[in-house]
Structure 1
Amino acid sequence: MKVVKFGGSSLADGAQFEKVINIITSDEQRRVVVPSAPGKRFKGDIKVTDLLIAFADKTIAGADLSEIKKQIIERYTAILDYFEITDAPFVKTLTETLDQLARVHYPTFDYLYAAFTGHGEYLNAQLLTTVLNHLGYPAEFVRPDEIGIVVDGTPRAAIINPFCYPQMNNYKVSADKITVVPGFCAFDHDGAMVTFSRGGSDITGAILARGLQADLYENFTDVSAIYTVNPTIVPSPVEIQTMSFREMRELSYAGFSVFHDEAILPVIETNVKINVKNTNDPTAPGTMIVPTSAVDTQTITPITGIATDARFAAIYIHRYLLNKEVGFTLKVLQILAKHGVSYEHMPSGIDDMTIIFDKSLVTQAQIDQVCSEIEQTVHPNEISLIPEFALMMVVGEGMHSNPNTPTIILSALSQAEIGVSMINMGASEISLMLGIDTHKIDEATQIVYEQFFA
């Protein structure tokens, strides 16, 4: 049995829906389908999720909702029109659901936004079920909680409760109907709709693949494979045929947007393989993501992929004899925790420390508070904010058997007069993290790519 997830671009309009249905029905093993909300149909278009965010904003502001509701309804009904479905109860359900969303009293704004945005997938799963049945393919819509998914965490960053997997194992997937489960959204212990982090349909698919003990998790998107590097930086890069779970985790975290980094976690324990494929070219083999044991590290290239991201910033702290003061780092970490700032990396020396954090997750006020309190608490000789900090992650299971790989990378960057402000290599020896000037990051990426793939 296969669990199959389709991204927003795969379900953007009626023509894309038709491709998806052809893919689902071409393989009888594709029994569980996880749809995202409709994405962009063309450049400059708006994703349905973003329309729902605008709907939520207007609801909070007490603004007129008629136009935004009209836009949302038209996105779904246009797909019904494509299949010439004129009498579907879904239209009434859609209108009533949007009206109800605007009337409900939510405990917090986070719950409100979770309910509004989660309905993009929730409604699209109902729509896909409607179209499948109309075309003669028996299908049933199943809520995530009905299949056994239970979550903890916060309203907009839900976390799967591991104790729900045994219950999911007992769920019997219909042999006669296609089971359609909405991605991204879930329900908490009080029955309120919550969501995983943005892009969380990947997570739903992975949870189902593990919980239902699928043979394969197919993740359909708009590219024929995962590339070794961002195609906007290096034209026509090499496609990755096979990669390990931990390679995908490292690369997703550092900027690979094809697959959600959290979606690897549910399948690791049970070793369910993932196949990333293209909705517009379904016969292409795509990229297989597999356990490390299934990767032959002796025959692969040293590098599997290169990911970069400039979403980081850093706080630099200098204080003489920092390394001899017991509890210094603890004090800094307590300040970060107090103000809700999580750090990504903390390279240090005998007299200095650099705290690298994701600036997209914090406000300027939080940063200012953290810097001020660090200065008052640990009295550094110097403290400064580095507002732009780019990271390059070079990843490959083959690095372990090719110990000269870091030397090749650093030598090439040195010859190009590109400085490296931070170097970090984990004990696993499958990833090398480099801090690069944001203005040089693309050039650095091209240089490293050419060393291994040109």
Structure 2
Amino acid sequence: MKVVKFGGSSLANGEAFQNAINIITADPERRVVVTSAPGKRFATDTKVTDLLISYANKTIANEDPTKVVDEIFGRYQAIGAYFDLPVEKLAPLKERLLALPEKKYPNNNYLLATFKAHGERLNAHLMALILQQLGYRARFVTPEEAGIRVTGTPNNACVLAETYENLSHFSFNKDELLIFPGFYGITLAGHIATFSRGGSDITGAILARGLHASIYENFTDVDAIYAANPNVVDNPQPIAKMTYREMRELSYAGFSVFHDEALIPAIEGNVPINVKNTNNPEKPGTMIVPDKDFQPTDIITGVVSGKHFAALYLHKYLLNKQAGFTLRILQILAKHNISYEHMPSGIDDITIILDRNAIDDQLVDVICNEIQEEINPDRLEWIDNYAIIMVVGEGMRNRVGVINDILMPLAEKNIAVPMINQGASRITIMIGTYDIDADEAVRAIYHRFFAN
């Protein structure tokens, strides 16, 4: 049995729905379908999730939401009309949409989560109705019914272990198609909570593990995952097969095809993942597999850059002789709820790398002032234009001279490398550089390993 997930662009309109249905019904092993909310139909279009956020905000502000509600329902109505779905079949969808402001929520965060989740919920219900209209035995299954339980905050939920126990007891007929909405689960108190955005990928992986799928097929709008960003490198090599941990490392710095958190349930369940293109389903796509017995064909699998970083550099003589020096810095960060990404260090130096999106300028000044007062470093510098290059490959583990092969083309391009770090797994080399050089660095490394 296969679990199949479709992204928002793959379910944006009637034609896209038909394409997805052709894929679903082409393989009798595809029994579980996970839907995203309808995405953009064209470049200037608005995603249904964004419309639902607007609906939620208008509800909170006691503003008239009629226009945005009509626009949201119009998206589902147009898809139904494409399949000549009787108007009365859509009535439950509209009733549920209109009833959202009348529900009781613990606070506005829960309200927002519930509104957002309905992009997926209504789309899954619609998919089941259309499949039934076409003569297939399809069943709409909600997270409540399946027992997908979550904890955490309303808009950043985490799956609970009991979910897998619930799914192991979930009964269904082998000849029916099960249509699940992605993106959300149910808290222990019975409220809707969403995974982080893009979380339909997470739902698909949860179901793949919980229902013991043979494979999890994630359909998106690209033919494969590539060895570099096609917006940075022209015609990069597609990756035929990669390991879970390679994907995790690459996702960290910017691979956005696949939601990296979605890998966790699949890793835990040892379920292979196949990333495929909805518009070219006959292409093999990229297989993501466990690392056990994996035999790499290339030295590196991919190279990617992330430009959303900043760095705090401290220099103090005899730093290595002072017990608790690093702890005092981390306590300041923890006090302000700031997590750090990496902390390469020397005997007199520490560089603390942070996610720039998670800290504003005011907070930068506050923590720098507190570190200055607490530590009194000889030098304290905030580097705002930091970038990280991730060079990833299972083939690097037993290869001598890879670091030289990576740094040589950067030196030839006169690209500064203020930081380099190799992970304990030996499959990742992390390079710190400046954001202005990041794209050129990626191109230089890519061509060194893949040009021939």
TM-score using structure 1 length:
0.96
* 4+ long deviations beyond 4 Å: none
**Structure 1 vs Structure 2 CA RMSD:** 1.4
Q: CA 1:220–1:57 in structure 2 vs 1: closer, same or farther (change >3 Å)?
A: same
Contact 1:228 1:305 in 2 (8 A): yes
Matches within 5 A, 1:342-361: 342-361=339-358
Where does residue 71 of structure 2 map in the other structure? 71
Matches within 5 A, 1:388-399: 388-399=385-396
Cα deviation per residue 1:308-342 (whole Å; 9 max; x = unaligned)?
Answer: 11111122222222222111111221221221111
Q: Which SS does the other structure have where 1:74 is aligned?
A: helix
Contact 1:119 1:185 in 2 (8 A): no
Q: Quick one: distance in 1 between partners of 2:243 and 2:268?
A: 13
Q: Quick one: distance in 1 between partners of 2:233 and 2:402?
A: 20
Does residue 437 of structure 1 match 2:412? no
Matches within 5 A, 1:176-191: 176-191=175-190
Where does residue 224 of structure 1 map in the other structure? 223
Q: Quick one: distance in 2 between partners of 1:163 and 1:53?
A: 30
Where does residue 145 of structure 2 map in the other structure? 146
Matches within 5 A, 1:272-287: 272-287=271-286
Contact 1:339 1:369 in 2 (8 A): no
Where does residue 57 of structure 1 map in the other structure? 57
Q: Which SS does the other structure have where 1:269 is aligned?
A: helix
Cα deviation per residue 1:276-303 (whole Å; 9 max; x = unaligned)?
Answer: 1110011101111011124213xx1111
1:351 deviation in Å?
Answer: 1.9
Where does residue 3 of structure 1 map in the other structure? 3
Contact 1:2 1:214 in 2 (8 A): yes
Cα deviation per residue 1:52-94 (whole Å; 9 max; x = unaligned)?
Answer: 122222222222211111111111111011111133433x223
Contact 1:227 1:239 in 2 (8 A): yes
Q: Is 170-179 or 223-232 further displaced after alignment?
A: 170-179
Contact 1:341 1:366 in 2 (8 A): no
1:367 deviation in Å?
Answer: 3.0
Q: Is 367-376 or 50-59 further displaced after alignment?
A: 367-376
1:373 deviation in Å?
Answer: 2.3
Q: Quick one: distance in 2 between partners of 1:161 and 1:112?
A: 21
Letter in 2 for 1:216: I
Cα deviation per residue 1:398-426 (whole Å; 9 max; x = unaligned)?
Answer: 00122211111101101110011111101
Matches within 5 A, 1:174-213: 174-213=173-212
Q: Quick one: distance in 2 between partners of 1:363 and 1:173?
A: 50
Does residue 413 of structure 1 match 2:410? yes
Cα deviation per residue 1:169-227 (whole Å; 9 max; x = unaligned)?
Answer: 22233213210111011110011110111101111100110111111100000011111
Q: Quick one: distance in 1 between partners of 2:371 and 2:49?
A: 39
Matches within 5 A, 1:59-138: 59-90=59-90, 92-138=91-137
Does residue 448 of structure 1 match 2:451? no
1:105 deviation in Å?
Answer: 4.1
Where does residue 309 of structure 2 map in the other structure? 312
Aligned-pair identity in percent equals: 53
Q: Quick one: distance in 2 between partners of 1:106 and 1:208?
A: 27
Where does residue 337 of structure 2 map in the other structure? 340
Q: Quick one: distance in 2 between partners of 1:223 and 1:173?
A: 32
**Long gaps (5+) in structure 1:** none
Q: Which SS does the other structure have where 1:439 is aligned?
A: helix
Q: CA 1:63–1:368 in structure 2 vs 1: closer, same or farther (change >3 Å)?
A: farther
Q: CA 1:371–1:398 in structure 2 vs 1: closer, same or farther (change >3 Å)?
A: same
Aligned pairs, how many? 451
Q: Quick one: distance in 1 between partners of 2:69 and 2:319?
A: 58
Where does residue 244 of structure 1 map in the other structure? 243
Where does residue 423 of structure 2 map in the other structure? 426
Letter in 1 for 2:300: I
Q: 2:369 aligns with which of 368, 372, 375?
A: 372
Q: Quick one: distance in 2 between partners of 1:325 and 1:110?
A: 44
Q: CA 1:119–1:365 in structure 2 vs 1: closer, same or farther (change >3 Å)?
A: farther
Contact 1:31 1:173 in 2 (8 A): no
Q: Which SS does the other structure have where 1:440 is aligned?
A: helix
Cα deviation per residue 1:219-251 (whole Å; 9 max; x = unaligned)?
Answer: 000011111110011111110000001001111
Where does residue 213 of structure 2 map in the other structure? 214
Letter in 2 for 1:241: A
Cα deviation per residue 1:25-54 (whole Å; 9 max; x = unaligned)?
Answer: 111111110010111111121111111122
1:151 deviation in Å?
Answer: 1.0
Q: Quick one: distance in 2 between partners of 1:392 and 1:134?
A: 50
Q: Quick one: distance in 1 between partners of 2:82 and 2:377?
A: 65
1:388 deviation in Å?
Answer: 2.1
Letter in 1 for 2:212: Q
Contact 1:185 1:196 in 2 (8 A): yes
Contact 1:242 1:290 in 2 (8 A): yes
Q: Quick one: distance in 1 between partners of 2:87 and 2:71?
A: 20
Letter in 2 for 1:184: F
Q: Quick one: distance in 1 between partners of 2:51 and 2:435?
A: 32
Q: Quick one: distance in 2 between partners of 1:215 and 1:120?
A: 28
Where does residue 289 of structure 1 map in the other structure? 288
